[in-house]
Amino acid sequence: MSVQYQIFVCGGIVPDPLQTLDPVTAPAGPALKNEMMLPAVLDPFAWHALFEAARLARSSPGSKIYLVSLAPKAKLQQVMMSVAQKAVFDLVVIDGPASGFTDSNAVAAALSEAIQSVPGLDMNRLLVFGGWESASRGSGTTLQAVGEILGITDQFQGVDDLRIESDGSFRILERIDGGKHQVSTCAGAPAVLGWATGNLPEPPNNPQIGMTNMRGIMPALQKARPAKLNAQDLSYTSVTLPKQQRETRVVDKLSAEEIAREIAEWIKKS
């Protein structure tokens, strides 16, 4: 008999990648110019986690997906109009800033509290999914901190594949250097999985799924509690976009070690 998993997908919203971002200094600290006016999308890394959660839920009947998002609820409502058509889930909303100028530990605390507040939470069936990285909170530490707060020690990052074996254990492929994968085995839930790109294409829009989801999404947005992000010790000396710089030199008959040495020396001088 398959396990009925409770899959929590942690995913925030970010400005559409096609937009030009202009960092500014606001009264409350660093921000993006006209941030509330920028069109937003679900974090691309969280998309993969949601697709993989949907696949796992289909293969384990009775499983349930929760999408946990810390974002301004007005912007999140707009994003959910498209996300809701991709997979069946319950939305758990935390009303707060979506920018990358927040402390990952504070964000993790808010996400963990939201997960723990869900009625009927069963740690023996809990799986926490999310992006290995993030287009917003790109430190790559938020998901790990969520697992630590929840007391989950089985954590896997850079996951490309998850398979359930006949005995209920997990076979997990994690990315490592050299384009290879590390094969890990986990006895089962609870576990935290930070997804890389996975293996699944984007599902087609399903208006029926979207209508079903929206019946729960709207009340969830209305009941969203404001986030209490404690970042009093967090400060920024400056915020700027990365500078674009290109220096090209065509050579041949250089070993990999020589090329690596030149690149390292160039980085040090930059």
The reported pLDDT for the residue numbered 167 is 87
How far is the C-alpha of 135 from the C-alpha of 191, rounded, in Å?
23
Phi, psi angle pair for 8, to nearest 5°: -105, 115
One-letter identity of residue 150? L
What is the reported pLDDT for 270?
66
- Can you list the residues of the chain whose pLDDT is less than 70? 1, 26-29, 135-140, 198, 230-236, 238-245, 270
pTM of the model: 0.80
What CATH number labels 6-226? 3.40.50.620
What pLDDT does 191 receive? 93
Quote the CA–CA distance of 66 and 8 in Å, as a whole number.
5
What's the confidence (pLDDT) of residue 43?
A: 85
Q: Are strands 90-95 and 64-71 parallel, antiparallel or unpaired?
A: parallel
How far CA 115 is from CA of 141, 146, 150, in Å, comes to 17, 10, 9
Instruction: Supply the pLDDT for residue 77.
Output: 86
What are the residue ranges spanned by the domains of the chain?
A: 6-226
Q: H or E segment at 167?
A: none
What gap in Å lies between CA 194 and CA 174, rounded to an integer? 9
End-to-end alpha carbon distance in the chain? 58
Pairing status of strand 23-26 against strand 191-195: unpaired
Output the pLDDT for position 81.
85
Any residues with CB less than 8 A from the CB of 181 and at least 6 apart, and which?
Answer: 160, 161, 173, 174, 175
- Residue 141: how many CB atoms within 10 A of its CB? 16
Residue showing tokens 């949907």: 54
